[in-house]
Structure 1
Amino acid sequence: MLYKKLSYSVLLLIFLFTCLSLFFISRLRFDYNFDHFFPKHDPDLSFYLKYREKFGNDNDYLLLGLSHPKTLFDSTFLKKVDSLTTFISQLRHVERVQSPTTLSSPIIESFGIFEVPYLHVNQPERYRQDSLAIYQSEGLVGTFFSPDARSVTLLIQTSPNLTKLPSDSLLLHLKEKLQQINLPDYHIAGKAVAQSIFVDRMQYELALFMSISIAMVVIFLYFTFRTWWGVVMPLMVVLISICWAMGLMGLTGTNIDVMTMLLPTIMFVVGMSDSVHILTQYVSEVAEGKSKTKAIVTTVKDVGLATFITAITTAIGFLTLLTADIGPIRNFGVYTGIAVVVAYLLSMTMLPAMMMLMPLPPRTAPKKEAFTWPFLLRRLLLFVFKYRNRILAGTVGIILVSVYCISLIRLDTTLLDDLSDDDPVKLDFKYFEQNFSGVRPFELYLKAVPGHTLYELPVLREVEEIEKYLGSQYGLKFIFSPVTIVKNLNRAVNGGSETFFKLPDTEIQWRKLQSKLKLFRKRPELNSLVSADQTEGRLSGKMGDIGSARATVLTDQFREFIRQNTDSKLLLTHVTGSSLLLDKNNDTLTRDLMEGLLLDILFIGGIVGLMFRSFKMIVITLLPNILPIVLIGAFMGIADINLKVSTSIIFTIALGIAIDDTIHFISKLKLELLSGKPLYYAVKRTYLTTGKAVIITSCILMAGFCTLIFSSFEGTFYVGLLISLTLLFAVLSDLLLLPILVVYFFRPKTKVAGKVAQKQIQNQ
């Protein structure tokens, strides 16, 4: 009676905490912000934030591409584009629109400045002349007009740091207008598009994966225990642990992003392990005729330490993600690690309480020998011992081949790496790369040394040389800088002739031009390129999304060019921008997470060392679990899977999860050895008693992670695929390699005892 009252009290307390968690879960919001993936303590981030305060964000824009099946110089098409431009400029959250129909060439005369449009939209008879002028003007083709004269681009400058709701509203109005004026062949790219699409998909996939995970776990649990309580109890433990972890996220104001979205799905499979081991042991104790209370006490005693250690090692696997300097990665590691610990605590409190209140599971009649787990596991163990030398030789060969394959892995990522190549959003981005200058931003900070300004002719020539290098060697297009302003000014005072789209040849010519510079003060591009005191400025451009690996090489070469060819007594520069930070992010994150993996190995080794007081057992425990990590690295090298943000986190997570089965094995082995059993017999007993739970939990884990391969996010797909493969390699390693390592390292003290024990195994 006392145990039942205590069980009711435990369940009531858990219920109250769950209700409180549900309240905080209601505060959770979905979020996808590129800025959150910047390395928090990187000096370049601090520089970029200050730079952004002066010159604005480099990704607060939308690109709208419009295509015509024949030629863009069609009166009906251009009038629609002009009408759309007027509509967009009046939308909320739009600060400025640069459109082919509103572009103009300034001309400065004695009476002031005049704007001559490049396109006379309402005068079709001038289209031929306009087209000649446009395609002879530097800076228009490939930016606003496609080289094949079939597409145009509108550059829409949006309000800074738009969140999802205003982004959705802006895109909705834009698409409605496009449909209304019958412009079906359009493409949209930009931060607002990515943010809107990513958040919508996160919400959908969170619900989808939770549903699939629940269904798969229910099926596995039912076929394992064949009772309704064998399904409900573990499911309740995991659901409540997820609820508490997400409630903590709501309490601390952490939003759901592309990383924390994985928490529920991962916990459905990871958090199930302890419950399965406990219930499997409980059913075995009941089958031996023990009472309910004694069966529960024996179960907690036998598997309590093992489940505690597995919970700690799994939590450590996630918590080592704190070595990353990226907010979403750290949040994912912290809250998932906490959820793992919560799942363990609930398994050791809530699960025994429910078992105490539930009726005893039925004692099933013995099955035919050929269909029992002991029979199958005994045959497998005999196979392992019979061919142990071949298994060891094969393992060594596999490791050698894997080391070579690992060397094939590349460090690389792109701006939309999480999307598949045939995703509509990614296809839109590729459209701008193929027809225009691309979507990857480039930013270069310019600063005149004290005593000089950016509008001095020698300084401008230094900037022009940088522009030439970036255009010819770096692949940059759509370049704007103080040089652009001066070239436009020179052309404007010379009747708009393209011949004068250049810097002045002499200081005298430049002094004459400088008096006209004030006429450009009201032009928006002037304020966004040069500071008020004319000592600071920016060089901005667009290019194709070439990937972080190639971009890093080009940036290093560019810095070397600056060092050798730019006069540091006139001009100082600093490469910055969101793209640079994302490139650095990939390199630093991979390095940090590799350090986290090493830290994970050290923690696990320390825990095993405390358990057995033996360095040999540390080696025995780690080898079967490092091997799957090595195999996954080899698989990535063979399959040409790049090492990036989404794939680098897999190693620490997989190690923390995969080692659980090994911990259960060696914990049971320790109990058998302490009871005085010979080594071979202890290995046999351990293999037969833990083998079933090891295989079942591994199948649940693999099936659960396999659900992630249906994700539209490439990163989530690889998390599902690679961790599933890691778990498959881990269970094979535990079943085939671990018993051999134990026998080789822990031989019986007397050879006679060892031979007798080995003979006993073969005879049974």
Structure 2
Amino acid sequence: MTGLLLIFRPIPKFDYDFEQFFPHDDPDLSFYRGVYEKNFGSDNDYLLLAFSNREGELLDSAFLSHLATVKTEIQSLSGIDTLISIFDLEIPVVNAFGLQTFPVLDWSSKQNLQNSESKLRQFKGSLIAQDGSSFLFLIQNDSQLSKKEGDQLYEEILGIFDKQEIEPYAVAGKIQTQRDFVSLMQEEFVMFIGASLGLMLLVLFWVFRKPWGILIPILVLVIGILWAFGLILLVGKPLDIMSVMQPTIFLIVGLSALIHYFTHLIKKLDTGLCKDQAIQDTFRELTFAVALTVFTTSIGFISLYFTSIPALKGFGLWTGIGILILFLAILGITPGLLHAFPIGQSNHKLTSKSDRLFVFLLQKIIQRRKMIALSFLAISTLGLCLTSQIKINGYLLDNLPLDHPIQQDFAYFDQQYGGSNPIELYLEKGKDGKSLLDLSVLKEIEKVEGKLIELFGEGEYISPLSLVKTLNQAQNQGNPKAFSLPSQGQYLRMNRYFDQALSLDGPKVLSADRMTGRITGRSPDLGSLQMGKLRAELINFCNQEINPNLLKVKWTGTAHLIDRGHESVTRQMAKGLGVAFLIVGLIGGALFKSWRLSLVLLIPNLIPLIWMSGLMWLLGIEFKLTTAILFTVAFGIAVDDTIHFISKLKLELAKGKNLHYAIKRTFIDTGKAIVLTSVILVSGFGLLIFSQFGVTHFTGLLISFSLIFALLADLFLLPVLLFPLKKVWDQKIKDPVHPR
């Protein structure tokens, strides 16, 4: 299998599409793609370019000519639908010759340039920066461009900048963000593979200090990861922003399983067993428990498939499958390599020092079991109280650090051009309106735009009303003060120019039959929490103040859908955790034939989740899609230690030992393994803290803490919960069953 993968190497493909974070069961998504996008195109396929004159005044004739050349070259590229700038903009004027247009910016002479200055004031904050420091190119690219075609288009635009020796002051948009995200993903993917392998070498040397104890795990894990990623790539799944974490997850989960096997093998060898018998006994005794823990870890990820977010579904499913494939590699390759390598007894006997430490610790736990139970209850209650204070909030560029150049460029557009976040409202005429260009309907649209300005500040909103305002300005010789809703008489005079005005270049705001349209604009990215409140206020205003018989208004657009995804985190988290709880509960019930023991299996693993959410409040981390999913993942990983503990306890009881002595032996033997694997897991996930991606950073931070909390729960709380169950154990363990 490995040879075939090396010969017929699948080619890794990296991709980033934030639309994969849309909730696909949301009716708003169906409306956007089925109605809105078909009529008005995608609102996400744009590129904002801001240009300033770094060597002088913005209205310098030489600079304007240079920038106009850049604009023409960009406009000629394949894949560019429209390019709107102050250089193309023309003001219509109605005169004796009919409707004519005149350029807003004319630098053909010094006098014409001076005359243009007064016209330009109208466009500050839309096509000219608020402080007058730059011009905006608003580019709409073809919505059907693939990732590869988008990269090629952006490279061609960069080539024009190099050729013309000009550099934009700020850039923001899908093809640029997508390209930079993928580039950063590739860097981090390689970095975390290298860092994880380095950590693995250090851990193996620290634990085993034997060539076979280092070489065999490395070989097995490298082959297992090769199999896992080989399958992922062969089915055609591209590597995305979530895939950055997968190498680290695979390595540390696999390493944790191998350390359980190897430490048990060393104990067997130290008792004087021959190598062949020690290997056989190790895999016979541990494979059931290790397989169970690997399965529950896998389920923790696979349960994400039951959410409605495609990015989470794909990540959860293929990470879970990859973990199972990795375990098959461990089970299929490790025994053979152990037989092939010359291994013998350990040079260092396991001392009783650690045993005495764990015996002492268990005695203290027994003596203070009531205080321990009350302490866990008190901290968990506090955690639940803090959890209730956490806000659900997410931003478009959550995954990037605040000092990243992309963040800075988006912030510039927020400050100078009204924002980079699309605002899209779908308009439909009511039963009493003839079309959206009826004067009575236009008055309703004016109310909506007025409310938008009140909520989001001054900004340019383009709609059917803009068309009519422009015609009113045209009837008043291009006077900017006449850019307003016309009187009844003025409106009747401009009716004949509607068809001609609609044929002018610009964003499409009206359907061919004039029955539907849109209001489009931009706002800063205020976060899903604040945007949700503002949207609700606008919709409430429309319900109360807008006549539905004249105009119907619906909020839509990709920014709205992203926010809807963040708002659904509680539902998404409940789906994932519900599936994980159910499966782990069924495993416990089937394994131990007792609902009480299933409950004991769940309680120590609920506590880390409660404490983790309380920690989120203390650290100021908000709920969003990329943090809510961590609860399911953390549960799937944390439950492993509990399963190891209870499986070992069952083995001890099956040997005829009484409950207290069985707990003691389990606590000593499994306690050391649990501490060791927890250290490895925390160290491995701790690597992810150094990622520049928010989702990867928070995964490392929060799961590391949840594993520490899980270790505390398994060492201190689990024995306290088990002691009162002596009668249950006596009844259930009558027919000893050795796991195979």
Shared fold by TM > 0.5? yes
Summarize the alignment of residues 572-721 of structure 1 with structure 2, pairs less than 5 Å apart.
Answer: 572-721=552-701
Q: Match for residue 94 of structure 1?
A: 80
Task: Structure 2: state its 5+ residue gaps.
Answer: 731-740
Deviations 1:627-650 (A, max 9, x none): 111111001011110111111110
2:483 equivalent to 1:501: yes
Question: 1:731 corresponds to which letter in structure 2?
Answer: L
2:335 equivalent to 1:355: no
Q: Match for residue 519 of structure 1?
A: 500
Deviations 1:271-323 (A, max 9, x none): 22222111211111111111223212221232122112112211111111012
SS in 2 for 1:515: helix
1:216 shift after superposition: 0.3
2:267 equivalent to 1:284: yes
Distance (Å, rounded) in 1 between the aligned partners of 2:670 and 2:557: 54
Q: Match for residue 323 of structure 1?
A: 306
Of residues 565-574 and 239-248 in structure 1, the stretch that sits farther from structure 2 once superposed is: 239-248
Query: Is the contact between residue 10 and residue 234 of structure 2 (CA under 8 Å) also seen in structure 1?
Result: no
1:185 shift after superposition: 5.9
Distance (Å, rounded) in 2 between the aligned partners of 1:404 and 1:589: 19
Question: 2:600 corresponds to which letter in structure 1?
Answer: I
**RMSD over equivalenced CA pairs, Å:** 2.2
Match of residue 170, structure 2, among 168, 187, 202: 187
Q: How many residues align?
A: 727
1:350 shift after superposition: 1.9
Q: Match for residue 469 of structure 1?
A: 451
Question: 2:315 corresponds to which letter in structure 1?
Answer: F
Q: Match for residue 448 of structure 1?
A: 429
SS in 1 for 2:460: strand
Distance (Å, rounded) in 2 between the aligned partners of 1:675 and 1:483: 84
Distance (Å, rounded) in 2 between the aligned partners of 1:265 and 1:718: 14
Distance (Å, rounded) in 2 between the aligned partners of 1:523 and 1:115: 10
Match of residue 555, structure 1, among 514, 522, 535: 535
So what's the TM-score if we normalise by structure 1?
0.91
Deviations 1:75-127 (A, max 9, x none): 34333322322222122322222222332212132324332222222333444
SS in 2 for 1:274: helix
Distance (Å, rounded) in 1 between the aligned partners of 2:225 and 2:413: 42
SS in 2 for 1:478: coil
Question: 1:206 corresponds to which letter in structure 2?
Answer: F
2:42 equivalent to 1:62: no
Distance (Å, rounded) in 1 between the aligned partners of 2:116 and 2:728: 93
Q: Match for residue 390 of structure 1?
A: 371
Summarize the alignment of residues 722-741 of structure 1 with structure 2, pairs less than 5 Å apart.
Answer: 722-741=702-721
Q: Match for residue 214 of structure 1?
A: 197
1:377 shift after superposition: 2.8
SS in 1 for 2:241: coil
Question: 2:484 corresponds to which letter in structure 1?
Answer: K
Distance (Å, rounded) in 1 between the aligned partners of 2:497 and 2:400: 49
1:213 shift after superposition: 0.4
Deviations 1:113-158 (A, max 9, x none): 33222222233344444222322x2xx1111112222222111121
Cα separation, partners in 2 of 1:21 and 1:46, compared to 1, 3 Å: farther
Q: Match for residue 726 of structure 2?
A: 746
SS in 1 for 2:58: coil
Question: 1:403 corresponds to which letter in structure 2?
Answer: L
Task: Structure 1: state its 5+ residue gaps.
Answer: 1-15, 751-764
SS in 1 for 2:140: strand
2:67 equivalent to 1:81: yes
Match of residue 480, structure 1, among 462, 466, 470: 462
1:231 shift after superposition: 2.1
Cα separation, partners in 2 of 1:518 and 1:366, compared to 1, 3 Å: closer
SS in 1 for 2:88: coil
Deviations 1:217-248 (A, max 9, x none): 12101211222222232233333332233222
Q: Match for residue 525 of structure 2?
A: 545
SS in 2 for 1:541: strand
Q: Match for residue 400 of structure 1?
A: 381
Question: 1:581 corresponds to which letter in structure 2?
Answer: L
Cα separation, partners in 2 of 1:319 and 1:414, compared to 1, 3 Å: same
Question: 1:456 corresponds to which letter in structure 2?
Answer: D
Q: Match for residue 32 of structure 2?
A: 48
2:103 equivalent to 1:117: yes
SS in 2 for 1:40: coil
Q: Match for residue 760 of structure 1?
A: none
Summarize the alignment of residues 139-150 of structure 1 with structure 2, pairs less than 5 Å apart.
Answer: 140-150=123-133
Distance (Å, rounded) in 2 between the aligned partners of 1:600 and 1:498: 62
Query: Is the contact between residue 93 and residue 474 of structure 2 (CA under 8 Å) also seen in structure 1?
Result: yes
Question: 2:86 corresponds to which letter in structure 1?
Answer: P
So what's the TM-score if we normalise by structure 2?
0.94
Cα separation, partners in 2 of 1:196 and 1:310, compared to 1, 3 Å: same
Distance (Å, rounded) in 2 between the aligned partners of 1:34 and 1:340: 26
